[in-house]
Amino acid sequence: MIDYLIGPFQYSFMLRALIVSALVGFLLPVVGAYIITRGRAFMTDALAHSIVAPVAVASLLGFTSYITAVPGGIAIAMLMGFLSRQTGISDDTSIGVVFAGMFALGLIILSISVDVNPGRAVNIEDLLLGQVLGVTQTDVLVSLVLTVAVAAGVFLFHRHLVYTTFDPVGARVSGVKTSLVEYLLLALLAVVIVIGLSAAGIVLVMAMLVIPSATAYLLARRFTGVILLGAFIGVVSAVAGLYLSFYANWPSGPAMALVASLIFGVATMHKRAFPVKADE
């Protein structure tokens, strides 16, 4: 049993994958707690798909994807926020429009990059489903730096994020710069999605952001409990998914999302059996 648990980490690629999985498992539900309590899960999915466009640009130009994905993701998140604030179109429609347009653009640029950079272009399947076993040392370092940056942002603005999530009008009137806080959250969301892509892939990064937080929401009584329990469930799901990916040769994204979904199912049954939330 111990060999099963420790054995994989004699390979350096597995150590790298473990670090990135743990970071993804921890960080996505932390930001996810704010997202699910705002009812913005669709935004996460849309943003993840839209980030294909800047990733594809990096692939076309032969750069590492972070160079374009981080600023590109933030720019797309801002565009979604701007459109839903400034046009008469409903939130989900404007997000859907940007999602579809950017995803389509990304896929076309990717197909061009395959012709331009044969053998070096991003593999679409890895991008969609995640391939944490293939992360490089650069991926690990960038993920670490971005994780520290996001954690610092969340720590500093936690109170403002909470206030604007609970009562946006009251917060604004009391002096909180709610637009700034909203855009900050979108920027944090864009960054954690970029970090999550290598492990969970575009299709399932939303799962790792939403499911552990939703599970924690069922069980925890207060918001800090949702964040902490969500992060714990996220790390457990990500690391368990990593083992499944290694031993069963499954793509890492679906493996992690499956574990998170199973934990959610157990939590739902627990909630039905014991409907009152436990005191922290």
Residue 143, CB-side half-sphere exposure with 13 Å CA sphere: 27
Rounded Cα gap, residues 79 and 132, in angstroms: 29
**Minimal CA–CA distance to 190: which of 73, 82, 75, 101?**
73
Residue 97, CB-side half-sphere exposure with 13 Å CA sphere: 12
Min separation Cβ 229 and another protein, Å:
11
Min separation Cβ 216 and another protein, Å:
10
Would you give the binding string for another protein spanning residues 21-40, x where CB under 8 A is met? ----------------xx--
Q: Does 274 bind another protein (CB under 8 A)?
A: no
Min separation Cβ 170 and another protein, Å:
5
Would you give the binding string for another protein spanning residues 103-142, x where CB under 8 A is met? ----------------------------------------
Q: Does 223 bind another protein (CB under 8 A)?
A: yes
Min separation Cβ 197 and another protein, Å:
29
Out of 99, 103, 217, 264, point to the residue binding another protein (CB under 8 A). 217
Rounded Cα gap, residues 280 and 35, in angstroms: 22
Rounded Cα gap, residues 195 and 174, in angstroms: 34
Residue 134: what are its φ and ψ, rounded to 5°?
Answer: -100, 10
Return the exposure string of 212-240: e unless at least 16 CB atoms fall within 10 Å of the residue's CB, then b: bbbbbbebbeebebbbbbbbbbbbbbbbb
Q: Does 85 bind another protein (CB under 8 A)?
A: no
Would you give the binding string for another protein spanning residues 33-72, x where CB under 8 A is met? ----xx----------------------------------
Q: Does 177 bind another protein (CB under 8 A)?
A: no
The piece of 3-11, 71-79, 126-134, 220-228 that touches another protein (CB under 8 A) is 220-228
Rounded Cα gap, residues 41 and 34, in angstroms: 10
Largest CA distance in the chain: 59
H/E run at residue 33: helix 12-37
Q: Does 264 bind another protein (CB under 8 A)?
A: no
Out of 221, 262, 265, 274, point to the residue binding another protein (CB under 8 A). 221
| Cβ count near 126 (within 10 Å) | 19
Out of 85, 108, 138, 170, point to the residue binding another protein (CB under 8 A). 170
Helix residue ranges, H only, 89-222: 91-116, 124-129, 137-166, 168-174, 178-219
Min separation Cβ 260 and another protein, Å:
20
Q: Which is nearer to another protein, 223 or 246 (CB)?
A: 223
What residues make contact with another protein under the rule CB under 8 A? 37-38, 156-157, 159-160, 162-163, 165-176, 217, 220-223, 225-226, 277, 279
